[in-house]
């Protein structure tokens, strides 16, 4: 029997954990599928996607730097992909068209609310960054009805653009990183790329409420710079993006197969637990 074909496409791709995660989900749920890595070529990403689906591919995960190109390429979009202006999950539809979804934001929300039992309704949330990662999670965070979602970015105008697109005056605000003095938050989420240089956006002392939480969308085998910053602030919890990584994968798996895998054993496996 031909196995249903799935893959992740990105560049670089060799360190992607998606094959490991989806293979674990398939084993756990008894779904018969293969899941491989494709090194995306910036000159012919669109052709690579078409030929994958022409050769019986059923679904693709799309990662850096192609999520926006996948959003342009998809024939139809789910609400999350429309609001993120980025696609991380492509599905082959029965009529041969390609449907795009974005499971990153749902993944973050599920990690916080289900895995860590954190209520987001009524919270004061600071989202750092206004690039691709921030765009992917802002809409789903807002859907949790926080008291405030403040978008703060080094380049303030980009935070302004994102806030305007979310179009929830009163609940969504924006500012530059230098405008955070004197403000406090229950949850601070790092969606900047500063961690790639082991840096942390400069934040004023006392910005985290006592017992407040810190979440870094980045994930590494060692505690990230932002997680270490949170520990110094004596945050109630300091989480990195591992849970989100597994949850966004589970959401993709569910969209493709109609079966929801149990994420806890896979998170435990990846964290070496
Ligand atoms: P990604 O897809 O990871 O979000 P991106 O779209 O290039 O990548 O966005 C990177 C984000 O990290 C931006 O918000 C960027 O701020 P600018 O818009 O001002 O460039 C932010 N960023 C990168 N390095 C940073 C640093 N050292 N301190 C603070 N913010 C940083």
pLDDT digits (tens, 9 = 90+) for 75-101: 999 999 999 999 999 999 999 999 999
Is the pLDDT at 169 greater than 90? The verdict is no
Nearest CA to ligand 1 atom 2: 132
| 140 neighbors 163 (Cβ within 8 angstroms) | no
Mean pLDDT across the chain: 96
**What is d(CA 128, CA 136) in angstroms, rounded to the nearest whole number?**
13
Is the pLDDT at 1 greater than 80? The verdict is no
| Average pLDDT value for residue range 233-257 | 98
**What is d(CA 239, CA 192) in angstroms, rounded to the nearest whole number?**
15
Q: Which of 50, 82, 64, 191 is nearest to 127 (CA)?
A: 191
Grade residue 6 by pLDDT with cuts at 50, 70 and 90: very high
Residue, of 62 and 2, whose pLDDT is higher: 62
Percent residues over pLDDT 90 in the chain: 95
Ligand 1 pocket by C-beta < 6 Å: which residues? 129-134, 153-155, 158, 191-194, 199, 201
Same topology, domains 4-102+247-270 and 105-240? Answer is: yes
Nearest CA to ligand 1 atom 25: 194
**What is d(CA 270, CA 244) in angstroms, rounded to the nearest whole number?**
12
Q: What is the pLDDT of residue 226?
A: 97
**Span from the CA of 199 to the centroid of ligand 1 (angstroms):** 11
Our separate counts of H helices and E strands in the chain read 10, 12
Class assignment of domain 4-102+247-270? alpha beta
227 burial level (CB within 10 Å; 0-12, 13-18, 19+): buried
74 Cβ contact partners less than 8 Å away, ≥ 6 residues apart: 81, 87, 90, 98, 99, 100
Fold of 105-240: Rossmann fold (3.40.50)
Rounded to a whole number of angstroms, the distance between the first and last alpha carbons of the chain is: 35
**Span from the CA of 12 to the centroid of ligand 1 (angstroms):** 19
pTM, two decimals, is 0.96
pLDDT digits (tens, 9 = 90+) for 115-158: 999 999 999 999 999 999 999 999 999 999 999 999 999 999 99
**What is d(CA 238, CA 98) in angstroms, rounded to the nearest whole number?**
38
Say whether the peptide bond before residue 217 is cis (omega within 30 degrees of 0): no
- Kindly list the domain boundaries of the chain, sorted by start residue: 4-102+247-270, 105-240
């Amino acid at each position: 029997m031909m196995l249903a074909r799935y893959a992740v496409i990105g560049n670089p791709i060799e360190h992607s954990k998606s094959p490991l995660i989806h293979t674990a989900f398939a084993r756990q749920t008894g779904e018969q599928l293969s899941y491989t890595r494709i090194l995306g070529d910036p000159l012919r990403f669109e052709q690579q996607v078409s030929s994958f689906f022409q050769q019986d591919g059923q679904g693709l995960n799309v990662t850096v730097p192609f999520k926006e190109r996948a959003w342009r390429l998809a024939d139809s979009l789910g609400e999350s992909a429309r609001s993120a202006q980025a696609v991380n999950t492509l599905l082959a539809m029965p009529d041969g068209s390609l449907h795009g979804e974005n499971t990153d934001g749902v993944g973050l929300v599920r990690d916080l609310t289900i895995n860590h039992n954190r209520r987001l309704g009524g919270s004061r949330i600071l989202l750092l960054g206004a690039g691709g990662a921030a765009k992917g999670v802002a809409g789903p965070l807002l859907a949790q009805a926080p008291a405030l979602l403040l978008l703060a970015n080094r380049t303030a105008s980009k935070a302004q653009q994102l806030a305007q697109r979310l179009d929830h005056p009163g609940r969504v605000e924006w500012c530059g990183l230098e405008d955070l003095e004197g403000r406090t938050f229950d949850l601070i989420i790092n969606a900047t790329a500063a961690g790639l240089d082991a840096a942390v956006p400069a934040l004023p002392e006392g910005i985290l409420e006592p017992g407040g939480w810190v979440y870094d969308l980045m994930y590494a085998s060692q505690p990230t710079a932002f997680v270490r910053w949170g520990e110094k602030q004596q945050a109630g919890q300091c989480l990195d993006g591992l849970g989100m990584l597994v949850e966004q994968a589970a959401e993709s798996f569910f969209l493709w197969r109609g079966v929801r895998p149990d994420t806890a054993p896979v998170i435990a496996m990846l964290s070496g637990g």
